[in-house]
Amino acid sequence: MELGAFSVSLSVKDIKKSKAFYEKLGFQTLGGDIAQNWLIMKNGSTVIGLFEGMFEKNILTFNPGWNQNAENLDSFTDIRDLQKQLKEQGVKVLTEADESSEGPASFTIEDPDGNPILVDQHR
């Protein structure tokens, strides 16, 4: 199962302080909008998202259709197919992608320890 680009989405208290901290660790801004309280930062192949006031917990995030530079892949498994495979394996889907739709969509699951996992397709 190919889930696409991986990142950790961090729920931060102060995005400006968090940005400055991660810059000290060598991260550079890849995308996002600090005025909207979210940034995507990268160091080598490691990608993190900083999100102020958007969700409670840190989230493991996968982006089908993207590589680690948020560039489109030529081929990938559509999010609805991934969701179907997981459901067939007995994974409980908390929020579902509309299986009759096409293009951008997302679904969420949790691991056995309650860690949220977002699968978020942007195209």
Mean pLDDT of 46-62: 96
- Report the chain's mean pLDDT, rounded to a whole number: 96
pLDDT band per the 50, 70, 90 thresholds, residue 78: very high
DSSP state letters, the chain: ----EEEEEEEES-HHHHHHHHHHTT-EEEEEEGGGTEEEEEETTEEEEEEESS-SS-EEEEETTB-TTSPBPSS---HHHHHHHHHHTTPPPSB---TT--SSEEEEEE-TT--EEEEEE--
Report residue 6 as tokens.
Answer: 């991986």
pLDDT band per the 50, 70, 90 thresholds, residue 43: very high
Q: What is the pLDDT of residues 80-118, one digit of tens each?
A: 999 999 999 999 999 999 999 999 999 999 999 999 999
Report residue 106 as tokens.
Answer: 């997302």
Say which residues have a Cβ less than 8 Å from residue 91's Cβ, sequence separation at least 6.
109
pLDDT (0 to 100) of residue 1: 87
pLDDT (0 to 100) of residue 103: 95
